[in-house]
Structure 1
């Protein structure tokens, strides 16, 4: 068996200190490019081209990682980025902080079980009954407020503002109706390669949006036509073959060969006449057509565009509902029914390249538009296109919601057991449910019916049946403690390691009464852990809020291991805002942290900023993905290096074969 697998290395799993060292090395490679104030890394391609970038996925993929555990970390960060469109750099930074905290806490045999219990018993409560008070619905439409902070971590200030406006405008044009936005975002993310055309050598300000689709090919045959025209899609040559595949064709003389060529020519001409009789004016082909086909196409007034990319053919089929035509079947002269309708078809000059501009009539709610993306060089255009494509993936997450687990939903029905919070184990088979909101109810996310909460009400738990909020009920409880703590809070906190021992610096202020909050939220809100369209101010607010509420719920845990993990994760969350504010003025993170925590303790709105908004769903999924990655790393028992792929073992093989 050992000879067949050719094992190069076998050994026990890396210990927690080694895992932390590898994660810290990855975090050090990407931390400098994190956030809007981060710098750029210069990647050198094998061709010698130097590409500056701030993209976390590109940075991780460019690293030549040798340790297997480090490869797993980078792969999980990129997988999370592919699923949500965001968070590769934050993933690595948070992962390193969690592993470092677990290492400092001493680890333990029950660490994996404690991580699962923490997610079910502390993290979900902190999100459902803590963060809920602060998030707000997304503003109407697809605002630049969501796109600018997203692009700020990848592009420069001037680039991100222009591209954010283009991205929002493209989505509005492709989906004028709000009900079509989820499907439009999915199609834009999946088919963006065919929905944009890059033009190097021009400034970014020259970028624009054109109706229809731009095919990056010139006409092989162009016959101008006015008004609507029918387009036919083909995936094979239209010149008929002399024989079927696999059948030998024998020519005895030159006369037979010339007769065969005449037969092919007549057959091709007949096919073009047939297309003309069916009002086909445009032929879109994914293959190269013969000169005879081009000649007769021009003769009978059929424009031809050949050698189209598979992405372009797939996009046309998807928006028109038309399948490619098979010209040679049992009856070549059958009626052609599957044709796309184009409102216009004309040549277009982009820079020095001739293209084809076609306006298709869509059979779905998606209205095709093409983004003309300009940039000084090809590498810059490539970075802009990748950032926009992932921005559409990120915007899809606004329509998603995370449901609470069964035990969390039932807590409102068992308030007499409040002292037993965090005292049961969660089943590993119970997974969080992600639901896609694509029904008409999702319109409320981006329409005026879902009004944005004002700053005065964002920190309250809304209850339409009561005259006062739970926050108001808490004021009498916390007034005396606040008076004792507010005077020298800044001085005391600056002398401490901010983020550790929050129960001391925050003077044990309870966010809201447990026995009231659980019942109120269970009655006034749905069973969603994260509701569709939930956003928070960008710039570290999510991490500080979750840090605050995790530490509060950790105090109620009777399991010591869960409490340790809770404090580790709570402190690790602060590593992201610390990295975001490291390049600003001195002690900027400390001041930001204290302002936010003092606002929470006083039940006041969070201090405003100009960073924009970010999706609560994306940020929550980042934390969950990191915890799952930590659990996976801790569950590795053996690392095996294989020099060659393992051969498939058949059932009839004997032991002697090995």
Structure 2
């Protein structure tokens, strides 16, 4: 008979607090790294909260559910796994305390406390869905900076000191990579990110187009190379095809190079091309086989003769070709690359403008790609094919570049690749405007009764404008805490749930500097002073609230609502926490409220004797790859 376990609020809190203890080891600027030991014996160091949490061997279903919520949130925003757990634990701790405040802590009954906790969690979720965006728009956005997409793709050779907004974008990326790859390499990886975005930016297009393209094609756009220092990471022009030549690659001075993408086989197909192989035995069967071989060879020779007339010298094939086809290709001095991945072929077709061909008999000039070169390249222990495209900017308005990410070991290289892709997704969320649900829902989809007299429906009001960032280090939490308390003071009655959320948010900046409480107090005082004086919360740059800037402050204002104060002190780089995305932080709070409401809906745990998924060990815990290939939510 299955074992039934009744869930108490204390048990739920203990489960989340156990995850909190794990996350605290790697949180904040003073956080360390976790050592993973895989089943193969390979040791990997990681600061990624998602990788650490998904690597744990979790038996309790609530713990697995929380980790699943964290993973889903990070898939949506690219970041926030550690803060997610800390905020959830802090909020749950306050809710449990509030639910038990008028009851005996040792009381065996749990129904009343659980009902009160559910009520508070549900009210917070309703608040998050209906009012949180407005609170953040009023209490946070006016004190942030709206970065321009042109700044993020500006020339990276320009010094950051000559372009304030470019410096801010570098800080945004460096702050993100600081928690993922450490302080030693965050500047290098953030610079490579900006360079890649600059090369792939499509002119006169929204940022979402470029970011979506890089995210979707990232496996084909980057190459992981193990056994080299991170400082060897770089960008190279063109595309890297992660296969080697299947035929000898003689040196060629041919300029330009003609290539064809093959989706099928060069070997003739008996059924599709009409050759009849007679049935029989003995001499008759042998004669038919000889006839087929002669016909197939003649057919292949005709194909290669046609390719030579088109000037083709490179064949990129999605499948493995026959030995006869490779032999004839070598005789014709054609280079063949077999078993090229679907993603790489798709990217090659987009960049070259050539249409892949599935039938060898239908190769036309429009199927031929023009390349500047096609040559082997040695990266680490592997030899790949390196191609560059002939005059792509006139047609695509981009500069195709590939990213080479190096690391001392395979595990570190994988972490850098994962962090790079998450950073691109974070930027995508940052530049994604969040529309006001109320104004959007009130718009009618039907035509007005009197079109000549009725004005057209207004577009949805943008609550969180694209590209809004705020200084990291607890600024967002301090501002939201203040905005929630002001909202509660203006309300006709006290909202206990909102008060608990405001108190829980302060727990995050407190944990950033566990051994230096003075930094917490300094940041809190600085934010409060900046809000009173309508200044940027960092105290270093004056980003005044909209519609409140004085004429003196408005003069010299640069694009992005940011400019240097004449009396501002030089930035203290050692204590500079960087910048973080307001949109990502807003989604983080809402995701925590959704997870909290779901977490408190369960009363019983039914344990059955079924095989559960096991994961590799992580230093007395576990390790596994991030589930990058799973479908999105």
Provide the TM-score with structure 1 as the length reference.
0.73
SS in 1 for 2:313: strand
* 2:462 aligned with 1:528: yes
In 1, Cα distance between equivalents of 2:225 and 2:130? 52
How far the C-alpha of 1:338 sits from its partner, in A, is 3.2
Check 1:249–1:37 CA distance in 2 against 1; reply closer, same or farther (3 A cut): farther
Alpha carbons 1:36, 1:149 under 8 Å: kept: no
Per the alignment, residue 64 of structure 2 pairs with 71
Per the alignment, residue 451 of structure 2 pairs with none
Indicate which of 556, 563, 578 corresponds to 2:510. Answer: 578
Alpha carbons 1:35, 1:152 under 8 Å: kept: no
* 2:467 aligned with 1:538: no
How far the C-alpha of 1:84 sits from its partner, in A, is 0.9
Check 1:250–1:46 CA distance in 2 against 1; reply closer, same or farther (3 A cut): farther
Aligned length: 517
How far the C-alpha of 1:60 sits from its partner, in A, is 0.9
Alpha carbons 2:510, 2:517 under 8 Å: kept: no
In 2, Cα distance between equivalents of 1:73 and 1:80? 11
* 2:248 aligned with 1:201: no
How far the C-alpha of 1:605 sits from its partner, in A, is 4.0
Indicate which of 618, 624, 635 corresponds to 2:590. Answer: 624
In 1, Cα distance between equivalents of 2:180 and 2:425? 15
CA-based RMSD of the aligned residues comes to 2.9
SS in 2 for 1:579: helix
How far the C-alpha of 1:386 sits from its partner, in A, is 1.2
SS in 2 for 1:358: strand
* 2:338 aligned with 1:306: yes
Per the alignment, residue 194 of structure 2 pairs with 168
In 1, Cα distance between equivalents of 2:197 and 2:475? 27
Check 1:600–1:374 CA distance in 2 against 1; reply closer, same or farther (3 A cut): same
1:542-561 equivalences under 5 Å are: 542-558=476-492, 560=494
1:451-530 equivalences under 5 Å are: 527-530=461-464
Per the alignment, residue 111 of structure 2 pairs with none
In 2, Cα distance between equivalents of 1:79 and 1:120? 18
SS in 1 for 2:35: strand
Provide the TM-score with structure 2 as the length reference.
0.75
Indicate which of 92, 108, 120 corresponds to 1:111. Answer: 120
Indicate which of 147, 156, 170 corresponds to 1:138. Answer: 147
In 2, Cα distance between equivalents of 1:551 and 1:110? 20
Runs of 5+ unmatched residues, structure 1: 1-6, 411-429, 432-524, 646-658
Per the alignment, residue 596 of structure 1 pairs with 527
* 2:353 aligned with 1:387: no
* 2:258 aligned with 1:230: yes
Per the alignment, residue 367 of structure 2 pairs with 338
Per the alignment, residue 552 of structure 2 pairs with none
How far the C-alpha of 1:74 sits from its partner, in A, is 0.5
Alpha carbons 2:144, 2:536 under 8 Å: kept: no
* Structure having greater relative contact order (Cα 8 Å, sep ≥ 6): 2
In 2, Cα distance between equivalents of 1:81 and 1:48? 28
How far the C-alpha of 1:295 sits from its partner, in A, is 2.0
In 2, Cα distance between equivalents of 1:109 and 1:558? 23
Check 1:185–1:603 CA distance in 2 against 1; reply closer, same or farther (3 A cut): closer
Per the alignment, residue 455 of structure 1 pairs with none
In 2, Cα distance between equivalents of 1:644 and 1:542? 44
Per the alignment, residue 21 of structure 2 pairs with 28
Per the alignment, residue 424 of structure 1 pairs with none
Alpha carbons 1:274, 1:333 under 8 Å: kept: no
The worse-fitting range, judged by mean Cα deviation, of 48-57 and 165-174 is: 165-174
In 1, Cα distance between equivalents of 2:350 and 2:597? 40
Check 1:621–1:251 CA distance in 2 against 1; reply closer, same or farther (3 A cut): farther
Alpha carbons 2:133, 2:586 under 8 Å: kept: no
Runs of 5+ unmatched residues, structure 2: 100-115, 153-168, 443-458, 541-574, 612-633
